[in-house]
Structure 1
Amino acid sequence: MKTSLKLIAATFILYTQFCQAQQDDKVIVITLDGLRWQELFGGADSTFINNEDFVDNIRGLNNQFWADTPEKRRELLFPFFWNHIAQNGVMLGNRRENNKVNLTNTRVVSFPGYNEILTGKADDTNIKGNDKIYNPNKTFLEIANNTDQFSGKVLAFGSWDVFPFILNEKRSGLPVNAGYRSSLAEDPSAKELFLDKIQKETPKRWGGVRFDVFTNNYAMEALKHQKPDILYIAYGETDDYAHDGRYDHYLTSARRTDDMIKEIWTYISNDNYYKGKTSILITTDHGRGTGTTADNNWKHHGQSIPNSNQTWIAAFGANIKNMGELKEENQYYTAQFAPTVAKILKLEIESDAAILPILK
């Protein structure tokens, strides 16, 4: 009888610990490479949507994305952002309302931008461009992966093949499925094996960037079968289509990404491991130009292109206040992103940036 009581007590303790672990906060971080705040908050831009240099089917694109007001246009382009995130979370960076988000790094290209997002500080000395060098700085993903709580529970997926270096997979031990890598799961699902096959068979538009559909589906399979507590998804198409000068593809890619984020939220909202415990934070690595001239071209970004350091942040979920679109005049910085995520996860990171005032 005593043995039975001890067994029951031990089982109860284990069950209690398991339930407590299940209640720990989860975080999904999403980035959309080079997506301008102008489209997020104002929808399709008339400067480009009617320009045959950037659009093949002007009438068709207008039928899909044009409306009389910025509010209607942005909802056509980003229905999930504006019908769910703005209604249940917070959106920062509408400069038409003098609500601003800026980078603090001066390089204003992708690697420095992602370093700033993921570490909470700029590093213009060591990270000057997009060269494939191992990041000397530790991201919050690496810091989390080296704690007892999150070890082995952090996964990263990216469309760009530089992410293994941005996240310093060699030092951090993070599994990074990026570029044209196949599934890294120890026991790949049937869908992951199929993704491996069709990814190899799909023509490559860009040498180092795969289509986001692969990144998204690998990440979705990880959510379903590996159950990470911290997941990073880095979509890349919007930046590459912009560099190609294809405003039509830039818009349609942005629209697909909105659907992908909705798919992620729909899944975690109905999965017991994630439901009610997950926060999703979204941002971009840089802005881009606003015109068509050589010195201010929407296709490009960098130190010489005005407005390239203008970004935005959106967030919703378990630990995020319902504040809607912030319209009061204020200045925020991309460097505040990592400390805010770290606060949710109770991590200590080396950043002097303030936590964004968006947490419950």
Structure 2
Amino acid sequence: MSTEFYGFLNYPSKIKRRRVTWLSFVPIFLLLFACAPVSSSTPLATSGAVLISSPTPSSTPTSSRLPSPTFLPTLTATSTPILTPPQTPTSRPDPTQTSLPPSLPPLPTLTPDPTHLPTFQPSNLPALQPSNPPPFKPSTKAVVLIIIDGARWTETFGDPTRDLIPHLANDLAPLGAINTAFYNDGQTLTVPGHAAIVTGTWQDLPNNGQARPTAPTIFEYYRAATASSADDAVFAHGSFIEPVLTYSAHPAYGAQFGAAEFFSDYPTPPYDDGMAANARRALAELKPHLLMISLLDPDEAGHIRDWAGYRQAIKHDDEIIWQVWQQLQADPFYAGQTTLMVTNDHGRGCGEGWPEHGGDDECNRHVMFLAVGPDIPPGLVISQRRTLRDIAPTIGYLLDFETPFVEGEVMAELLTQESPR
């Protein structure tokens, strides 16, 4: 190929074309390179990483060109700064060797002034009371639990005159404690109410004596713990529906740990005289450590709408309880080491509803509770709310046997709190 070629410019037809060699374009190339702008504001990478980006239309003209490699600076190792981490001291500075700036005043030396220190005398110190009673071995060796069936709070300790319970209010209460906020929170019926007392649980039982409680009774707990005979745990009653309470349907307990049963079918009223006779005979002959007596006359009179008979039955049961207490104090086996508890299984309806029970009102649920014994300080009036479920674990505590399936609590305030009347 020839080193000469024809130019590609279209000259006017009147101008004669001429031959052009490649040397003719050298001045043009030199002129273009000389006029190309080199931006001094574009940073050059110095750390070995190069960022290439497109110039923005507003800052770079469309005719700009990348600089020739001859214009790039030569990067050397010394052009990149070397960053070194700060030196970690090998040991902590000694704060005792650090001096304060001379502009700060020295700290004053504090010396106690004995004349301004308070002097505490033993009489000034508050007496610390334990939140729970300290563990101790109860002195109680026997428990007698008496239930007055169906007596309302308003006819017992809720009556300001207390004329239906003269012995309970005037003779026994000063020797022990009463609780003014005691309730049946379960079914306010005879069998479920009695079952709550002896099991420490709310039992959903029919009131016809056809089903036993599912939780163990205090009789079973006691006999299983002491390996005692049935004569050592006695239930004296006069109702055909209450034999189901002598033992439970719990598979780990049952009939082998049940209570001895003293049933009284007294032919004429007052029927509670028969229960009282059986109970007093059991105390004299069997010497049980656990005895429960159920007095039914107030409930029986209520159901036949005999208001006078209902009130008289409460007063008669007050006399029976006093006779039982006198017998306990006259017997060296029981005197000074027996705790007596008295309560109700339920109350009765309010107002005109007094003949019946089973409702959810205050009159059905509010019941009495009295306890007298060697571990109970005299003259207590307790207002802490308690329920029938708390009786079983409290008896277990006093007689030192476990009650693992109860839902109630030991009434610690009964044993420790002192609130004179």
Same fold, judged at TM 0.5 (above):
yes
Q: Which residue of structure 2 aligns with residue 162 of structure 1?
A: 241
For the pair 1:240 / 2:294, whether they are aligned, the reply is no
- Counterpart position of 2:345: 285
Mapped contact 2:200–2:391 kept (Cα < 8 A): yes
1:242-281 equivalences in 2 (<5 Å): 242-281=302-341
Would the alpha carbon gap of residues 306 and 324 (structure 1) be closer, same or farther in structure 2, given more than 3 Å must change? Answer: closer
Change (3 A) 1:232 1:131: closer
Of 174, 187, 198, 1:87 maps to 174
Higher relative contact order (CA 8 A, sep 6+): 1
Match of 1:40 in 2: 156
CA contact (8 A) 1:158 1:178 kept: yes
Structure 1 counterpart of 2:260 = 175
Aligned pairs for 1:1-360 (under 5 A) are 25-43=141-159, 70=160, 73-74=161-162, 76-93=163-180, 100-105=181-186, 107-124=187-204, 127-148=205-226, 150-152=228-230, 153-168=232-247, 171=255, 172-180=257-265, 199=266, 202-203=267-268, 211-292=271-352, 297-303=353-359, 307-326=363-382, 328=383, 330-349=384-403, 350-356=405-411, 357-359=413-415
Larger Rg: 2
Identity %: 24
Is the 2:175–2:372 contact (alpha carbons within 8 Å) kept by the matching residues of 1?
yes
Counterparts of 2:247 and 2:409, CA distance in 1: 25
Q: Distance in 2 between matches of 1:333 and 1:315?
A: 14
TM-score (norm 2): 0.60
Conserved in 1, the CA contact under 8 Å of 2:140 and 2:375? no
Assess, with a 3 A threshold, how the Cα gap between structure 1 residues 348 and 223 changes in structure 2: closer, same or farther: same
3-state SS of paired residue (1:155): strand
Deviation digits for residues 311-353 of structure 1 (CA, Å, limit 9, x no counterpart)? 2211002222224333x4x321111111111110111111232
Preserved contact between residue 135 and residue 167 of structure 1 (Cα < 8 Å): no
**Other-structure match for 1:20:** none
Separation in 1, partners of 2:385, 2:361: 21
1:253 Cα deviation after fit: 1.1
Please say if residues 150 and 229 of structure 1, whose CA atoms lie closer than 8 Å, have aligned partners that are also in contact.
no
Following superposition, the deviation at residue 24 of structure 1 comes to 6.4
Give distance in 2, aligned partners of 1:333 and 1:84: 24
- Checking the alignment, whether the CA contact within 8 Å between 2:219 and 2:258 is kept in structure 1 is no
Q: Give the ranges of 4+ consecutive aligned residues of structure 1 lying more than 4 Å apart after TM superposition.
A: none
Q: Which stretches in structure 1 are left out of the alignment for 5+ residues?
A: 1-22, 44-69, 94-99, 181-198
Number of aligned positions between the proteins: 269
Deviation at 1:303, TM superposition (A): 3.4
Unaligned residue ranges in structure 2 (runs of 5+): 1-138, 249-253, 417-421
Contact 1:157 1:178 in 2 (8 A): yes
- State the alpha-carbon separation in 2 of the partners of residues 168 and 179 from structure 1: 19
Computed over aligned residues only, the root mean square deviation of the Cα atoms, in angstroms, reads 2.1
Contact 2:145 2:293 (8 Å CA) reproduced: yes
What is the TM-score normalised by the length of structure 1?
A: 0.70
The AA in structure 2 aligned to 1:121 is T
CA distance in 1, matches of 2:183, 2:242: 22
Structure 1's 132 and 150: CA in aligned 2 closer, same or farther, altered over 3 A?
same
Whichever residue aligns with residue 152 of structure 2, its letter is R
